[in-house]
Amino acid sequence: MNTFVNFIIRARWGIAILIPIITLMFATQLKHLEFEGSYRIWFGESSPILKEYDAFRSVFGNDDAVMIMFKDDNGIFNPKALHVIDRITNKLWETPYIARVDSLTNYQYIHADPQYPDDVIVEDFIEDIDALTAAQLQEKARVIQHEEMVIGRVLSADATTTMIVARMTPKAGDDPDVSKKLEAAVNAIVAQERESGYTFHLGGGPILNMAFISLGEHDAATFTPLVLLISMLLLWIIFRRPSAVLLSISVVVFTFLIVLAIQVLLGYRMNNFTANMPVFVVAIGIADAMHLFWIYMIGRKKGMQNIQAIHYSVHKNFLPVLLTSLTTAVGFASLGISAVIPIKTLGIATATAALLAFVLTILFVPAVLAILNLKIVPHRSEAESNHHMLAKHYSRFVIKYDVRIIIISSVLFLGIGAGIYYVKVDSNTVRYVDEQVPFRETGEFTQKNLTGPMSYEIIVDSQTKDGIKEPEFMKTVERFYK
């Protein structure tokens, strides 16, 4: 160990300069860092669920869509609301990556001609809006109530809320850039219609994807600086030395910049789950650096010279910090067996960060301390005893009441652990986000005024050519419908 520490001290300038340079070289890759919110990030390419869904889309087309909803308390069947629906419908038809648009105005109404009952007419439900009289609009409202493909889908039962559904082209939802373009296009369409006075609610896969991306970017931009700031404040309260604050924070910053850059080089994109990785790294990296600096301070206060105190600190900390880093890495690496890709990615990345933080701490901190040679006044033994009075009282308390502490802790643990029976798995993506997030507001608005925000689809395969035309097959499908 002495040889290792002596090497660090001899090469202190090289280590202190090389580590930041290496970090900066890795950090240049962060310009390629991207966020992704697609549902596909949660599954591996070999996932049976993903394969089944892709097979479904290859047969039936893309079921992903962009939805625009609004409500008119006086009813949708008025020229103003119908013109808004018609304009949005036409604009969505012209939008790239949109394969089909369904709305109240372009609903394909199938009916018989009163004058020629044998003729079947298929036409847009509402064509020339301005030509319709109030009585005709009332008749339209009455007729549509009997159309099961409309009520509860694009029009609420009370005819006050409507939805325009724009289905996407095949595989358009696989590209996060498409979600971004579609969200921008839909927002531009809605912005042009805001003069109508209606409040528009946006939903669908692309909107959800962008919501997750925005939340991930917000978390990364908010919590990482906040945690760093709080950590710096606590370090200052503990050490009262800028060197302690900067050394500990430097190890953390170097660690998560390098780990993030490695993620980029491996082709991973950040998401709202892995965006919290720097917060884990802060906890791991600061603990390592704090231990090393704290024991160094104790050595100096005992009267040791700078080099002697560095040896003392590394000797005391190397094995404990190594073991805690290894166990932390193993704990996070165990997430690598998860079938959920973001969990696996977070686990492996954080495990890597735990080991990297140890390496950087054990090299960088002693090297910088050897350069700085901090001026620390040694304390007399009596003063040092007073400094550690709280620790001594605490240790005596633990020794005196050891059995009681074990019993009380066990009872508390069992009591709190009973709560595991009440843990529920919730995969509802609407409830993933806070109530103030627009996407959740849309989901709750849809559920309250129109229909459920999610759909459930069942594939029924006859296994034979033209088998769907057989009466028995039709009866089977009808039973599902009921």
Q: Among residues 341, 231, 343, which one has the least CA distance to residue 281?
A: 231
| Residue whose token pair is 């669920």 | 49
Integer Cα distance of 178 and 186 in angstroms: 12
pLDDT digits (tens, 9 = 90+) for 305-355: 899 999 999 998 999 999 999 999 999 999 888 888 888 888 888 999 999
Q: What angle do CA 407, 409, 412 make, to 5 degrees?
A: 110
Cβ neighbour number for residue 314 with a 10 Å cutoff: 23
Entry pTM: 0.75
Q: In the chain, list all ranges with CATH 1.20.1640.10.
A: 2-32+241-378
| Residue whose token pair is 């609009």 | 137
> pLDDT category, 383, cuts 50, 70, 90?
very low
pLDDT digits (tens, 9 = 90+) for 197-253: 999 999 888 888 888 888 878 887 888 888 889 988 988 888 888 888 888 899 989
Integer Cα distance of 399 and 407 in angstroms: 14
Integer Cα distance of 128 and 180 in angstroms: 34
Residue 429: is its pLDDT beyond 60? yes
Q: What angle do CA 151, 157, 160 make, to 5 degrees?
A: 110
Count how many residues are written for the chain. 482
What three-state secondary structure class fits 111? Answer: strand
Higher pLDDT pick, 427 / 453: 427
The secondary structure of residue 401, as a DSSP letter, is T
Higher pLDDT pick, 113 / 208: 208
pLDDT digits (tens, 9 = 90+) for 175-212: 778 888 899 999 999 999 988 899 999 988 888 888 88
Q: Report the pLDDT value the prediction gives residue 228, as an integer from 0 to 100.
A: 87
Q: Report the pLDDT value the prediction gives residue 385, as an integer from 0 to 100.
A: 46
pLDDT digits (tens, 9 = 90+) for 88-110: 999 999 999 998 999 999 998 88
The beta strands (E) that lie in 249-347 are given as: none
User: 168: which strand partners?
Assistant: 98
Integer Cα distance of 440 and 432 in angstroms: 9
Integer Cα distance of 21 and 25 in angstroms: 6
Q: Which residues contact 26 (CB under 8 A, 6 or more apart)?
A: 257, 258, 261, 262
Contact in structure between 266 and 335 (CB atoms under 8 Å): no
- Domain 2-32+241-378: which topology? Multidrug efflux transporter AcrB transmembrane fold (1.20.1640)
Q: Report the pLDDT value the prediction gives residue 24, as an integer from 0 to 100.
A: 93
Integer Cα distance of 434 and 266 in angstroms: 32
> pLDDT category, 174, cuts 50, 70, 90?
low
Helix axes 242-265 and 277-301, enclosed angle (nearest 10):
150
Integer Cα distance of 101 and 87 in angstroms: 12
Q: Report the pLDDT value the prediction gives residue 462, as an integer from 0 to 100.
A: 83
